[in-house]
């Protein structure tokens, strides 16, 4: 388990009705995940030592009180996304069978970068939680525990979702699970995307009307699930359509759409040249200039996501609980 | 909220950051050489916080500072020569040589003072915000304070009253990782168990204050968050808190042997030096060339050298002036 101490604490609290995702809450979520894993019969739970000490708190509070062995996994403690990538990578090397992240889409993406072959589940504690869903953390832990322990055929309850691979001048530079957006601001700054007017285009792998963030735009324009082998390039402006999207919690914005292009899995799309910051899963990450040739590929190489209700249902039907 | 920063503003921000660094590096040398009386606490490494926040302020706004106040002074536009003379204790200092490093102030430009007492500037900023609410709606106050101050009673009271009165104030925590020699997380217990879960923003949320965590080594990240918080305050939407994660390069005070932290830790933080990060970004954005930015740094060094030369030559206050400007008129 990885708890991201920084998830759900950024500038969007000042610009929307987004809640502050506090440490106390995250520790309780972490405890519930651990108790769920324990209840499923997991032998050992590895918990990342994060810079905020949240994982350490979870371990200290449950050690010796549950059947599962609890082990803290150290990282360099940079206080950045690198901790999650490093922690996930170490856990993968130690042979974990599943990984639960307490955070938002950015945390899941970082965990995926460190452990792409490990099934992942998210406990929603970020601002945008497109990859997660609001189930009690105990049940997310329990589902991940059932995946870990095995013994029942889970079929597509654990399935690999789509991925957006970003290439700059032919070289792979980064990945996103949900969306890659070109923001007309030439620097990363506070990372979050909150000015609709600044978005030039976005490439989506997924977007449902129930999503928050940029995915909400696709959600109302062309609802697209993880299971569908398509994605979309959307250019913003006037002329084609307009949607009322939930850009941040409580902030609906009317967004003009100039052009929509359907993408099949395996296709590579060139993004309009210009000076942008590329936002990956809703956070400005990559600064590109007009001389850079940027392409995005839609693939099926994304995270192995644990579908929590499906896993629990299959196990219930098989009396595997 | 428009966050696109004009080119001139970006250059100005960089110029102030290198001026702060030049001033602090020189003060470090001067103190070691025995030139500066009293204590000196240096701001090098934390420039992105002062500049990112103060770049959003306008005439009529106020700040209060800490014992580590040179960066805030310079970002507010205090005269460098007057500041250096103040550190020397000279009569030409901006407080006539009687404030020194820890009580440096310039009320004319809204800099209400550094403060030798940890956390003591915060209630003063709340007072300024209360005055602004009645006398100058649209103006704001900013309280800068450190992670150690977050455990001072007066800071808790200030947070509380700012919420109750919905004051136009932005609380800015400069979490430079250490309260003197103690890890900032150590005394900031949120949990009954291991008690290392640190979050100053979380405490503010407990007071009903909107709070965010900010990368205090990235001046544009600080600028954007501060802009959002300050605009809220100007609109009358009440206080906010910015929890800026940063790092001081020198010791808590000059002469601090720094046995509580490793050289490797300092080097790790220096890899994300706020001035270097900003410089690389400005070059990549095409805002300025390396040569142009180097020229700004050299200009800052020259400006500080001139301030040192003048401070060396300036006179000390006369002994007969020892009590002037020290006490205010109680009936004012």
Provide the residue count of chain A: 321
What are the b/e assignments for A5-33, b being 16+ CB within 10 Å? bbbbbbbbbbbbebebbbbebbbbbbbbb
A230 and A91 share one domain: no
- Which residues in chain A have Cβ-Cβ distances shorter than 8 Å to B197? 5, 23-24, 27, 52-54, 57
What is the C-alpha to C-alpha distance for residues A298 and A311, in angstroms, rounded to an integer?
A: 27
A149 and A185 share one domain: no
pLDDT of residue A321: 65
Listed in sequence order, the residues at least 6 apart from B272 whose beta carbon sits closer than 8 Å to its beta carbon are B217
Using a CB–CB cutoff of 8 Å, tell me whether A19 touches chain B.
no
A215 and A113 share one domain: no
C-alpha to C-alpha distances, A287 to A191, A213, B9, nearest whole angstrom: 11, 20, 20
pLDDT of residue B4: 81
Tell me the β-bridge partners of B106: B111
A146 and A45 share one domain: yes
Which residues in chain B show pLDDT less than 70?
1-3, 186-198, 330-332
pLDDT of residue A77: 81
Structure token pair of residue A103 = 């955070």
Sign for the pseudo-dihedral over CA of A296, A299, A303, A307: positive
pLDDT of residue B322: 86
A294 and A307 share one domain: no
A128 and A187 share one domain: no
DSSP B103: G
- Which residues in chain A have Cβ-Cβ distances shorter than 8 Å to B224? 11, 189-190
C-alpha to C-alpha distances, A56 to A46, A47, A143, B9, B195, nearest whole angstrom: 11, 8, 23, 43, 9
- Give the residue from B49, B55, B170, B193 with the most A CB atoms within 10 Å of its CB, the best one to mutate: B193
A253 and A154 share one domain: no
Q: What are residue B106's phi and psi, to 5 degrees? A: -150, 90
Q: Strands A69-73, A44-48: parallel, antiparallel or unpaired by DSSP? A: parallel
Using a CB–CB cutoff of 8 Å, tell me whether A36 touches chain B.
no
Domain that holds residue A287: 163-299
Of the candidates A306, A104, A122, which has an alpha carbon nearest to the alpha carbon of residue A213?
Answer: A104
Tell me the pLDDT tens digit for each residue of A240-254: 899 999 999 999 999
- Give the residue from A20, A54, A102, A196 with the most B CB atoms within 10 Å of its CB, the best one to mutate: A20
CB contacts < 8 A (A, B): 111
pTM of the full structure = 0.92
Containing A308, the helix (H) or strand (E) segment is: helix A308-317
pLDDT of residue B187: 63
Indicate yes or no: CB of B212 within 8 angstroms of CB of A10.
yes
Indicate yes or no: CB of A22 within 8 angstroms of CB of B202.
yes
A58-64 long-range contacts, CB within 8 A, separation 24+: A58/A1, A58/A3, A58/A27, A58/A30, A58/A31, A58/A34, A60/B193, A60/B194, A61/A27, A61/A31, A61/B193, A61/B194, A62/A31, A62/A34, A62/A35, A62/A38
- Determine what percent of chain A is predicted with pLDDT higher than 70: 99
What is the C-alpha to C-alpha distance for residues B17 and B293, in angstroms, rounded to an integer?
A: 11
Indicate yes or no: CB of B199 within 8 angstroms of CB of A23.
yes
Domain CATH for A176: 2.60.200
A313 and A275 share one domain: no
Tell me the β-bridge partners of B142: B63, B170
What is the C-alpha to C-alpha distance for residues B226 and A11, in angstroms, rounded to an integer?
A: 9
Domain CATH for A96: 3.40.50
For residue A273, pLDDT beyond 90: no
Tell me the β-bridge partners of A295: A167, A270
A200 and A281 share one domain: yes
- Which residues in chain B have Cβ-Cβ distances shorter than 8 Å to A288? none
The sheet that has B210-215: what strands, in order across it? B62-64, B141-146, B169-175, B240-245, B210-215
ipTM metric? 0.87
Listed in sequence order, the residues at least 6 apart from B70 whose beta carbon sits closer than 8 Å to its beta carbon are B20, B23, B24, B27, B42, B43, B83, B101, B104, B114
Residue at token pair 């285009």: A201
Q: What average pLDDT score do residues A168-179 get?
A: 96
- Determine what percent of chain A is predicted with pLDDT higher than 90: 76
Supply the mean pLDDT for chain A.
93
A121 and A27 share one domain: yes
Tell me the β-bridge partners of A287: A277
A80 and A133 share one domain: yes
Helices (runs of H) and strands (runs of E) counted in chain A: 8, 17
What is the C-alpha to C-alpha distance for residues B121 and B165, in angstroms, rounded to an integer?
A: 18
- Closest-approach residue (CA) in chain A for B239: A14
A177 and A139 share one domain: no
- Give the residue from B140, B188, B199, B233 with the most A CB atoms within 10 Å of its CB, the best one to mutate: B199
Q: Which of A67-71, A317-321, B167-171, B194-198 has the lowest mean pLDDT?
A: B194-198
Containing A276, the helix (H) or strand (E) segment is: strand A276-280
Listed in sequence order, the residues at least 6 apart from B324 whose beta carbon sits closer than 8 Å to its beta carbon are none
For chain A, the domain total comes to 2
Query: How open is the CA angle B293-B52-B220, to the nearest 5 degrees?
Result: 70
pLDDT of residue A304: 96
pLDDT of residue B197: 44
CA dihedral B180, B185, B189, B194 (to 10 degrees): -130
3-state helix, strand, coil in chain B (%, to 5): 45, 10, 40
Domains defined for chain B, CATH in brackets: 7-313 (3.40.50.970)
Of the candidates B55, B19, B39, which has an alpha carbon nearest to the alpha carbon of residue B104?
Answer: B39
pLDDT of residue A247: 94
Of the candidates A6, A304, A5, which has an alpha carbon nearest to the alpha carbon of residue A160?
Answer: A304
For residue A133, pLDDT beyond 80: no
Tell me the pLDDT tens digit for each residue of A206-249: 999 999 999 999 999 999 999 999 999 999 999 889 999 999 99
Residue at token pair 């966050």: B3
pLDDT of residue B189: 56
Of the candidates B233, B251, B234, which has an alpha carbon nearest to the alpha carbon of residue B242?
Answer: B233
For residue A132, pLDDT beyond 90: no
């Amino acid at each position: 388990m990885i708890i991201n101490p920084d998830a759900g604490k950024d500038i969007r609290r000042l610009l929307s009705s987004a809640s502050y995702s506090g440490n106390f809450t995250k520790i309780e979520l972490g405890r519930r995940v651990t108790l769920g894993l324990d209840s499923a019969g997991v032998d050992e739970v590895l918990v990342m030592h994060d810079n905020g000490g949240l994982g350490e708190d979870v371990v200290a509070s449950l050690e010796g009180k549950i059947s599962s062995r609890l082990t803290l996994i150290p990282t360099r403690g940079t206080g950045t996304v690198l901790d999650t990538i490093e922690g996930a990578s170490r856990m993968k090397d130690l042979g974990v069978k599943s990984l639960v992240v307490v955070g938002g889409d950015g945390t899941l993406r970082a965990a995926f970068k460190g452990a792409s072959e490990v099934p992942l589940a998210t406990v929603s504690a970020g601002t945008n939680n497109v990859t997660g869903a609001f189930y009690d953390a105990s049940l997310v832990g329990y589902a991940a525990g059932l995946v870990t322990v095995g013994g029942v055929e889970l079929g597509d309850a654990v399935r690999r979702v789509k991925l957006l691979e970003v290439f700059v001048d032919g070289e792979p530079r980064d990945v996103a699970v949900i969306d890659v957006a070109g923001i007309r601001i030439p620097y990363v700054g506070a990372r979050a995307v909150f000015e609709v007017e600044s978005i030039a285009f976005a490439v989506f792998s997924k977007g449902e009307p129930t999503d928050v963030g940029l995915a909400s735009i696709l959600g109302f324009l062309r609802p697209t699930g993880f299971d569908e082998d398509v994605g979309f390039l959307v250019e913003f402006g006037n002329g084609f359509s307009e949607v009322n999207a939930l850009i941040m919690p409580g902030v609906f914005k009317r967004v003009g759409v100039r052009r929509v292009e359907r993408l099949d899995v395996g296709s590579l799309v060139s993004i309009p040249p210009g000076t942008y910051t590329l936002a990956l899963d809703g956070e400005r990450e990559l600064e590109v200039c007009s001389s850079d040739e940027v392409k995005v590929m839609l693939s099926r190489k994304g995270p192995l996501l644990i579908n929590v209700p499906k896993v629990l249902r299959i196990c219930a039907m098989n009396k595997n609980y | 909220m428009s966050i696109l920063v004009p080119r001139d503003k970006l250059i100005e921000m960089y110029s102030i950051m290198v001026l702060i660094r030049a001033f602090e590096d020189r003060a470090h040398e001067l103190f070691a050489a025995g030139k500066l009386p009293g204590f000196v606490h240096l701001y090098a490494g934390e420039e992105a916080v002062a500049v990112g926040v103060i770049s959003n302020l306008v005439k009529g706004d106020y700040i209060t500072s800490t014992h580590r106040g040179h960066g805030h002074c310079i970002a507010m536009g205090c005269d460098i020569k007057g500041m250096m003379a103040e550190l020397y204790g000279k009569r030409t200092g901006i407080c006539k040589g009687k404030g020194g490093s820890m009580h440096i102030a310039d009320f004319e430009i809204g800099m209400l003072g550094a403060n030798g007492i940890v956390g003591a500037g915060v209630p003063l900023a709340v007072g300024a915000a209360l005055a602004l609410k009645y006398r100058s709606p649209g103006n704001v106050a900013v309280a800068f304070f450190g992670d150690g101050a977050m455990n001072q009673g007066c800071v808790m009271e200030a947070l509380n009253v700012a919420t109750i009165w919905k004051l136009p104030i932005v609380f800015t925590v400069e979490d430079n990782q250490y309260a003197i020699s103690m890890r900032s997380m150590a005394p900031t217990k949120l949990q009954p168990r291991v008690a290392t879960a640190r979050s100053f923003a979380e405490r503010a949320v407990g007071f009903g204050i909107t709070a965010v965590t900010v990368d205090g080594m990235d001046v544009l990240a600080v600028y954007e968050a501060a802009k959002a918080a300050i605009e809220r305050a100007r609109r009358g939407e009440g206080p906010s808190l910015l929890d800026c994660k940063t790092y001081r390069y020198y010791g808590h005070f000059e002469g601090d042997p720094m046995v509580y932290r490793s050289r490797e830790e300092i080097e790790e933080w220096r890899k994300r030096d706020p001035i270097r990060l900003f410089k690389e970004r400005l070059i990549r954005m095409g805002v300025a060339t390396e040569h142009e930015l180097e020229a700004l740094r050299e200009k800052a060094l020259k400006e500080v050298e001139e301030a040192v030369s003048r401070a060396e030559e300036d006179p000390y206050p006369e002994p007969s002036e020892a009590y002037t400007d020290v006490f205010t008129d109680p009936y004012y």
